[in-house]
Amino acid sequence: MSRYNKKISIIIPTIRMQSVLKTVESVIAQVDNYDYEIIIVGRSVSAIENISTDCNVVFIDTDIQHPPSQTRNIGASRAKGEILLFIDDDCEAAHGWLKNSLKFLTDPSVGIVTGKVVGKSGRFFAKCVDLNFYLQQGEKERTLERFSSITFGIRRAVFNELKGFDESIIVREDIDLARRVVAAGYEILYSPDIAVIHDHKRDSFAKLLRYQYKLGLLSGLSVPFKHKKGWKDYIKVSFKDFYLLLVLPVAIWSTCRQMAGIFKLERKVLLFLPFIFISNLSYQFGVLRWLSLRAE
């Protein structure tokens, strides 16, 4: 008999054909006695159909490489489960990931459940990347205002109510969804018992800077322009034509905010502080470039 009376759809958007195998294996190790399906979505994924002999693994080919928001929506639209669990293709689900995700989704007040993101690499600059996820670290269960789409679970009814991800937002689509979840009266619950091992491979200073710049370039001010809620959104939107003046203050503010949270978890955080600040500065220059392209 199933230990959970609802069908579960585990959705893995992929652009990494090599690493997704480990993701699938880590999930399959936890699905015994559950009514489940694993949906792998991406460009030309049918080429890896021998990834598993499990008949519950479904492959959805896309004609092009879509943005993450659209890829996840495609997976959700084909899903048959009442519970949707998402995990990225550069992650491995730690022991208890599935069971603990389901446990919290039985609470109707919880809109999204998310968990700990643990970096696989111990290299210094990889750690700088990992510390950007401090909101999803720690050993205490708590509610959050935002989450990372690296790993999360949501009931299909809530996902449909909110019409899924906004496909017009290329990056930071999870922040947009988080705002809409909270506005709809649901909680975003973090639990350290839900964990994934994240092998992002951003383990050098150059990779860190390129990654942050690209994030800024792709995300820009899409979320503040859409929501225009709160003083941070107001300042960014109001001064969009003079954003060069905000690059340094926003990078400083972002770093201070991060440090306040990280210091509770990582006492050696001061060693990383200069590099995290520079990476935040790189992100803001990406936002600046996004604004200039938008104005052309």
Beta strands at 91-93 and 57-62: parallel, antiparallel or unpaired: unpaired
User: In the numeric block, which tokens belong to residue 55?
Assistant: 């008949």
pLDDT (0 to 100) of residue 266: 65
User: In the numeric block, which tokens belong to residue 100?
Assistant: 């603990």
pLDDT (0 to 100) of residue 268: 72
pLDDT (0 to 100) of residue 265: 64
pLDDT (0 to 100) of residue 110: 96
Beta bridge partners of 195: 116
Cα within 13 Å of Cα(245), Cβ side = 8
pLDDT (0 to 100) of residue 1: 36
Beta strands at 142-144 and 83-87: parallel, antiparallel or unpaired: unpaired
CA–CA gap between residue 222 and residue 165 (Å, rounded): 13
pLDDT (0 to 100) of residue 264: 66
Helices 269-295 and 244-262 pack at an angle, to 10 degrees, of: 150
Whether 15 and 77 have beta carbons less than 8 Å apart is answered as: no
Q: Which of 230, 266, 281, 285 is nearest to 134 (CA)?
A: 266
Contacts of 66 (CB under 8 A, 6+ apart): 43, 74
pLDDT (0 to 100) of residue 4: 67
CA–CA gap between residue 72 and residue 94 (Å, rounded): 21
Low-confidence ranges of the chain (pLDDT < 50): 1-2
pLDDT (0 to 100) of residue 55: 75
pTM, whole model, 2 decimals?
A: 0.92
What residue ranges define each of the domains in the chain, with the CATH number in brackets?
A: 8-198 (3.90.550.10), 205-295 (no CATH)
Q: For residue 242, give Cα distances in angstroms to 11, 109, 196, 291.
A: 41, 41, 40, 10
CA–CA gap between residue 77 and residue 263 (Å, rounded): 40
Run of H or E residues at 12: strand 8-13
pLDDT (0 to 100) of residue 39: 95
Alpha-helix residue ranges (DSSP H) falling in the chain:
20-28, 68-78, 97-104, 124-131, 156-161, 173-183, 205-219, 222-227, 231-238, 244-262, 269-295
pLDDT (0 to 100) of residue 52: 61
- Average model confidence (pLDDT) across the chain: 90
Whether 40 and 14 have beta carbons less than 8 Å apart is answered as: yes
User: In the numeric block, which tokens belong to residue 233?
Assistant: 């959104």
